[in-house]
């Protein structure tokens, strides 16, 4: 058995990540102004439609996060070097995705209370979304099990590749079953988008803003995970050194 361990390069904070954070903050302010003051109310839903500018973007970015987790996991499994950095990116993306999916569920419940008179219905879209959320909480739990970093990466990657298959089920649930949830507002099968120009712009802008927030959070969380792995490796090195010292006759 080799006594060497893989070193983890110390992560650095770059001007790019700081600028990304500033863009995310500025974009969030603009989105809040657009959503709360400049866009018109909906003919049927009134002011409650403003929840859409958070609910829809967070859902789409959560999908993006989970797909990115799967891509990084595949890269780790089938890449020649089995990069641990890809594994850390997968974990960071999943953590952020769980947060965004949690926001999606909360805002969806609030919207449901205003539209349906209740916070929750065992509706196909709501149920499958909750199941997707629980699945990725389970993925994060799997990452926390014992073993080496490579063992963690391998088992987590396998779970991620199965978990991502739930996303099409969630997205198309409103078409597969009778659902209270409305169908897609923008990505409709017939390509017909029935939204006011400024409302559509605000929605797309919201997706861009939350995507920027996602990228910024993943960069920072990946940096933290790299530090954790580096500390763990130093602990392993110290334990091996102590073991070698015990083997030296006095």
Residue-level pLDDT at 78:
93
Which whole number is the average pLDDT over 19-37? 96
pLDDT at 10 over 50: no
For 195, residues 6+ apart whose C-beta sits below 8 A from its C-beta are: 185, 186, 203
Residue-level pLDDT at 121:
87
Which of 126 and 182 is assigned the larger pLDDT? 126
CA gap 194, 84 in Å, rounded: 45
Specify whether the CB–CB gap between 48 and 219 falls below 8 A.
Answer: no
pLDDT at 128 over 80: yes
Which of 155 and 180 is assigned the larger pLDDT? 155
Share of the chain above pLDDT 70, in %: 81
Whole-angstrom Cα Rg for the chain = 22
| Half-sphere exposure (Cβ direction) of 98: Cα atoms closer than 13 Å | 16
For 107, residues 6+ apart whose C-beta sits below 8 A from its C-beta are: 51, 54, 55, 58
- Share the mean pLDDT of the chain: 86
pLDDT at 92 over 80: yes
**Stated pTM of the model:** 0.84
Give 43's pLDDT tier (boundaries 50, 70, 90): confident
Query: What are 183-237's pLDDT values in tens digits?
Result: 666 555 555 556 778 999 999 999 999 999 999 999 999 999 998 888 887 766 6
Residue-level pLDDT at 2:
41
Q: What CA–CA distances, in Å, run from 11 to 68, 148, 176?
A: 21, 21, 45
**DSSP-derived 3-state class of residue 11:** coil
Give 249's pLDDT tier (boundaries 50, 70, 90): low
Q: Taking Cα atoms as reference points, which of 43, 99, 114 lies closest to residue 66?
A: 99
Q: What CA–CA distances, in Å, run from 120 to 37, 105, 140, 181?
A: 28, 10, 25, 11
Residue-level pLDDT at 180:
61
CA gap 91, 218 in Å, rounded: 9
pLDDT at 138 over 90: yes
Which of 61 and 227 is assigned the larger pLDDT? 61
Which whole number is the average pLDDT over 70-76? 96
Give 82's pLDDT tier (boundaries 50, 70, 90): confident
Token pair, residue 101, equals: 């999916």
CA gap 136, 250 in Å, rounded: 52
Domains and CATH numbers, the chain: 16-228 (1.20.120)
* Helices (H), ranges, 79-196: 84-116, 124-143, 149-163, 166-171, 173-176
Residue-level pLDDT at 212:
97
Residue-level pLDDT at 177:
73
């Amino acid at each position: 058995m080799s006594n060497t361990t893989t070193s983890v390069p110390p992560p650095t904070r770059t001007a790019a990540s700081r600028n990304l954070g500033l863009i995310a903050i500025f974009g969030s302010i603009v989105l809040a102004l657009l959503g709360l003051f400049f866009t018109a109310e909906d003919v049927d839903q009134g002011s409650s439609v403003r929840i859409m500018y958070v609910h829809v973007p967070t859902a789409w970015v959560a999908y993006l996060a989970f797909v990115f987790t799967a891509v990084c996991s595949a890269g780790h499994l089938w890449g020649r070097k089995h990069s641990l950095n890809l594994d850390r990116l997968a974990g960071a993306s999943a953590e952020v995705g769980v947060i965004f999916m949690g926001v999606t569920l909360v805002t969806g419940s609030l919207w449901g209370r205003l539209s349906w008179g209740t916070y929750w219905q065992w509706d196909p879209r709501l149920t499958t979304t909750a199941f997707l959320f629980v699945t990725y909480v389970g993925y994060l739990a799997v990452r926390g099990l014992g073993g080496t970093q490579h063992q963690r990466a391998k088992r987590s990657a396998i779970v991620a590749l199965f978990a991502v298959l739930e996303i099409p089920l969630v997205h198309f649930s409103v078409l597969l079953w009778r659902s209270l949830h409305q169908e897609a507002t923008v990505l409709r099968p017939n390509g017909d988008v029935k939204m006011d120009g400024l409302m559509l712009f605000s929605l797309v802008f919201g997706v861009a803003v939350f995507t920027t927030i996602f990228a910024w959070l993943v960069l920072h969380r990946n940096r933290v995970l790299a530090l954790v792995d580096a500390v763990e490796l130093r602990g392993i090195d110290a334990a091996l050194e102590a073991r070698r010292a015990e083997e030296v006759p006095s």
